[in-house]
Structure 1
């Protein structure tokens, strides 16, 4: 009797995760896709060195808990990543494996062991805010008599008045600024 269903290869699964899951189903931002791509690239390079097998010869079951834990340690020790960066890499691997679990149920035991790896705890610094006097001093710091000073004052005032991230500020285009009627600016958060 012919086999009705064959599981995708690891390479096919990885491609489907990026195209179908991240881009089509979740409509992830380009920055999210790039971060997940970078994580998978680092993981594949690590697996190649550790298993002495090229990425195209890897199977899903090769990404077991000991390999992923060693990868996370490698990120912290050898690449000097912070705990926060390590946790973001783990989140990307988990996202891929959640997707893989439904596509390759025969690998579920290995996947569950990796999904059980906890995020590492870290001290979160308290968010401090500036006083009114500190804000005024900051806004008054750039020299208003120079072009660069005027630019810097506008950028600081925009950040203060909108609560925008720096990445959102530098992403503002001329068409995003409305100065005629009611002055406003359109921000494009998280790559959108």
Structure 2
């Protein structure tokens, strides 16, 4: 069984190009599943039945695992057994009739346009760090970049004369996206006034630098956003991903096509992007109830 799992994980990496973190999650799920099978004296995947999988999922629920964890496990097992059948290592798929537990809908926090403006205005742009941080916030809101993509942005990824930047997203997929004039102006100011002072005659391929002239970490971006959320007086729980959510929601509310938003965010499945249509409807309903005299 271990050999079959390793073959599957190798296929995910080489053939599908999935990220290391994603492959690690699959590895962990499959290790937990095989550990359970061992306790049930099941020594091969062709001995696994629909009933044994249901019993395994029940043990996860009884152990207090979150619904999202159980759903992820179902997804992992579905993909794995489909792989075994497609590669003729199994003749039947025990996952065929097993459905994922229904997920409760958790809509991500989104800032209003006024809150975004307050957050963008929070850094002190009379300092080299303030200029850098303002530029970071402007770029995140202008592009919807993930924080992992932001910290890996390189000078060579900028094509500002064409109003474009490029990045490598999940699954090592490259995408090129437009960036607005305001964000470009802040990048230019950062490159002229701030980055040379942070670099101090050193060399770095990365766009955004720390005090030592090295690339920033995801944790440092998170800490800076928390700092500026406090300065801006925003009471919502805000993370770096909140600016990504806000970017997607705001452009949808202003008429962008869902497929375009999917492309900009780098989502492989449009169902992931559709969460933002629910946010827009929720905000529309809230505005209606507040504004209409008989709502």
Cα 1:70–1:169 change in 2 (3 A) is farther
User: 120, 124, 145: which one pairs with 2:105?
Assistant: 124
CA displacement at 1:18 relative to structure 2 = 2.3
CA displacement at 1:76 relative to structure 2 = 4.3
Aligned residue for 2:136, secondary structure, equals helix
Residues 26-51 of structure 1: CA deviation (Å, up to 9, x unaligned): 33343432222221122223333x32
CA displacement at 1:95 relative to structure 2 = 0.8
Counterpart CA distance in 1 for 2:120 and 2:24 is: 35
Residues 157-188 of structure 1: CA deviation (Å, up to 9, x unaligned): 11100011223223323432345x34543221
Specify the alignment match of 2:142 in structure 1. 161
CA displacement at 1:87 relative to structure 2 = 1.4
Cα 1:150–1:104 change in 2 (3 A) is same
User: 71, 83, 90: which one pairs with 2:67?
Assistant: 83
User: 13, 21, 25: which one pairs with 1:35?
Assistant: 25
CA contact (8 A) 1:97 1:115 kept: no
CA contact (8 A) 2:46 2:90 kept: no
Counterpart CA distance in 1 for 2:55 and 2:148 is: 33
Aligned residue for 1:185, secondary structure, equals strand
TM-score by length of 1: 0.71
Q: How many residues align?
A: 171
Aligned residue for 2:167, secondary structure, equals coil
Counterpart CA distance in 1 for 2:41 and 2:124 is: 59
Aligned residue for 1:187, secondary structure, equals strand
Aligned residue for 1:186, secondary structure, equals strand
CA contact (8 A) 2:18 2:170 kept: no
Specify the alignment match of 1:65 in structure 2. 50
Counterpart CA distance in 2 for 1:82 and 1:171 is: 32
Q: Which runs of 5+ in 1 are unaligned?
A: 1-9
CA displacement at 1:142 relative to structure 2 = 2.6
Specify the alignment match of 2:9 in structure 1. 18
Higher relative CO (Cα under 8 Å, sequence separation at least 6) belongs to 1
TM-score by length of 2: 0.49
**In terms of mean alpha carbon deviation, does 115-124 or 66-75 score higher?**
66-75
Q: Which runs of 5+ in 2 are unaligned?
A: 173-295
Q: CA RMSD in A?
A: 2.8
